[in-house]
Amino acid sequence: MTTTPRYTDYDTWAWLYNETMGPDYSRAQLKFLRQVLLPDLSSNAAILDLCCGTGQLIQPLMAAGYEVTGLDGSAAMLTYARQNAPQATYLLEDARYFQLSEQFDGVFSTSASLNHIMTLADLTQVFGNVYRSLRPGGRFVFDLNHPAQMQKWWRNRIVEGEIISHYAWRLTPEYDPATAEGAFHVEIFQAQSLTSPLARWTQLLKQALYRLLSLRRLTGLRLRLLSRFEKIEPTWTRSRLTYRVKGHSLTDIHTALETAGFIDITRQTIDGNPTLDANHSAHFICRKS
């Protein structure tokens, strides 16, 4: 018996994503959806959140009256999504292989989830699955990191990270223009319980510093400190996870959408600027005829 592959890589850091990036990314993404997707839908429209992750976007959409389904390949991500938005419907499926027919008025996929689709053939297949799941006239909105942007920013340097009282994490992306493939590495440090009173006092002082460093205007300093965190907190355990991505060209993405049948294809930055540059990811908007 053959089984269909499913993308499960996020199982290993679902807890961290749910506490950090999930809530963080959803704020700007929700604003974007309110501008480009929701105005075209009826107030009780059926929406698919493709690669929904921990579901931080689903909760406000359900609260606004939409009927939302979340699909993701990671069971652990969906466990958090169910906690964050219990009333939604969830599908543990792979974006490359799901088969649903004409039941959604809108489909969206946010935070560069589809960069994990490693070949153009698979991306075209994802778009075909989305197309079949939409009712006539239905909208599809998604964002992807693109080659020029990845070449500029994915340079094997720490770009994101936080120090919370009992754990810290840092994210380092890298990209190879020759293959248009890249990866981001997530390193997680976890505190060990301290026995001596002196160690506990020292830790309290450090935690005060870490709280201060959580201020947005001290991001540069925080990332510098995180770059040598193993020296600052030598007793904390450290694990490293790697997630592969593909930098699909903007032209290839456009062609794949057309192949799947989509029309009225436009792209813009998250702020609505139709001119893309290396500082912004590409947000595509299109519809089924």
Q: Residue 43 contacts by C-beta under 8 Å, 6 or more apart in sequence?
A: 64, 65, 66
Does position 18 bind ligand SAM by CB under 6 A? no
Contacts 24+ apart (CB under 8 A), 152-155: 152/278, 152/279, 153/278, 154/182, 154/184
Q: To 10 degrees, the CA torsion angle through 194, 164, 224, 110?
A: 150
3-state DSSP of 149-202: HHHHHCECCCCEEEEECCEEEEEEEEEECCCCEEEEEEEEEECCCCCCHHHHHH
Q: Select the residue interacting with ligand SAM from 33, 47, 85, 95 (CB under 6 A).
A: 95
Our CB check for ligand SAM shows the closer of 162 and 233 to be 162
Does position 160 bind ligand SAM by CB under 6 A? no
Our CB check for ligand SAM shows the closer of 116 and 185 to be 116
Which residues from 35-94 bind ligand SAM, rule CB under 6 A? 51-53, 72-74, 77, 94
Our CB check for ligand SAM shows the closer of 77 and 226 to be 77
Burial string for 242-277 (b: 16+ CB within 10 Å, else e) reads: ebebbbbeeebbbebbeebebeeeebbbbeeeeebe
Backbone angles phi, psi at 37, to 5 degrees: -110, -55
Does position 110 bind ligand SAM by CB under 6 A? yes
Our CB check for ligand SAM shows the closer of 72 and 233 to be 72
Q: How many CB atoms lie within 10 A of CB 174?
A: 16
Shortest distance, CB of residue 255 to ligand SAM, whole angstroms? 20
Residue 100 CB burial class (10 angstroms; 0-12, 13-18, ≥19): middle
Shortest distance, CB of residue 134 to ligand SAM, whole angstroms? 18
Q: Select the residue interacting with ligand SAM from 82, 116, 135, 206 (CB under 6 A).
A: 116
Number of residues this chain uses to bind ligand SAM (CB under 6 A): 21
Shortest distance, CB of residue 224 to ligand SAM, whole angstroms? 25
User: For 84, which DSSP code?
Assistant: H
Our CB check for ligand SAM shows the closer of 72 and 105 to be 72
Q: Select the residue interacting with ligand SAM from 69, 111, 124, 268 (CB under 6 A).
A: 111
Shortest distance, CB of residue 241 to ligand SAM, whole angstroms? 13
Q: Select the residue interacting with ligand SAM from 84, 113, 124, 145 (CB under 6 A).
A: 113
Q: Which residues lie near ligand SAM (CB under 6 A)?
A: 7, 10, 22, 25-26, 29, 51-53, 72-74, 77, 94-96, 110-111, 113, 116-117
